[in-house]
């Protein structure tokens, strides 16, 4: 089942099923297709931080509510929040529809470039999914 869920190349992943991608202004962060599949229909995305706030890697930056449950959102890297996807406030379904695109959540200006090395490559994340599926 989980093998069919997209793991996009060119992104980095966490064990908590967030992805991050290097953009001009920082690291864009969202949740993976696997996380979306586990959550089901998403009804609320709550980003608890404001632009300018700092967050540490592995700490929560918000919560996501689906019909089924509530989940924490964990920051893949440490740094300053430079952008928040305000569209999710009224259209949380964008995460269901396009989790690697329009469903992005925040952009973080990383304070520790070395942290990126601790994240999972697409291949390593695919292996992780295989291990949770079986």
3-class state of residue 23 by DSSP? strand
The residues near 50 (Cβ < 8 Å, ≥ 6 apart) are: 81, 84
Q: Does 44 bind other proteins (CB under 8 A)?
A: yes
Q: Does 50 bind other proteins (CB under 8 A)?
A: no
Q: Does 2 bind other proteins (CB under 8 A)?
A: no
Q: Of all residues in the chain, what percent are helix, strand and coil, respectively (each to 5)?
A: 30, 35, 40
Contact 44, 105 (CB under 8 A): no
Site track 4-43 with other proteins (rule: CB under 8 A), x = hit? ------------------------------------xx-x
Q: Which is nearer to other proteins, 67 or 113 (CB)?
A: 67
Q: Which of residues 83-112 bind other proteins (CB under 8 A)?
A: 89
Q: Which is nearer to other proteins, 99 or 120 (CB)?
A: 99
Burial of 73 (0-12, 13-18, 19+ CB in 10 A): buried
The residue ranges that bind other proteins (CB under 8 A) are 1, 40-41, 43-44, 46, 63, 65, 67-70, 89
């Amino acid at each position: 089942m989980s093998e069919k869920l997209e793991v996009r190349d060119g992104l980095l992943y966490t064990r908590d099923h967030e992805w991050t991608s290097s953009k001009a202004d920082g690291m864009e962060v969202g949740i993976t297709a696997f996380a979306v599949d586990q959550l089901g229909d998403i009804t609320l995305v709550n980003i608890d931080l404001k632009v300018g706030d700092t967050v540490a890697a592995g700490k929560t930056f918000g919560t996501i509510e689906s019909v089924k449950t509530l989940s924490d959102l964990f920051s893949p890297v440490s740094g300053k929040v430079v952008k928040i996807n305000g569209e999710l406030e009224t259209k949380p379904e964008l995460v269901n529809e396009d989790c690697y695109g329009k469903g992005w959540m925040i952009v973080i200006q990383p304070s520790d470039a070395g942290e990126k090395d601790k994240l999972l490559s697409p291949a390593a994340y695919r292996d992780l999914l295989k291990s949770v599926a079986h």
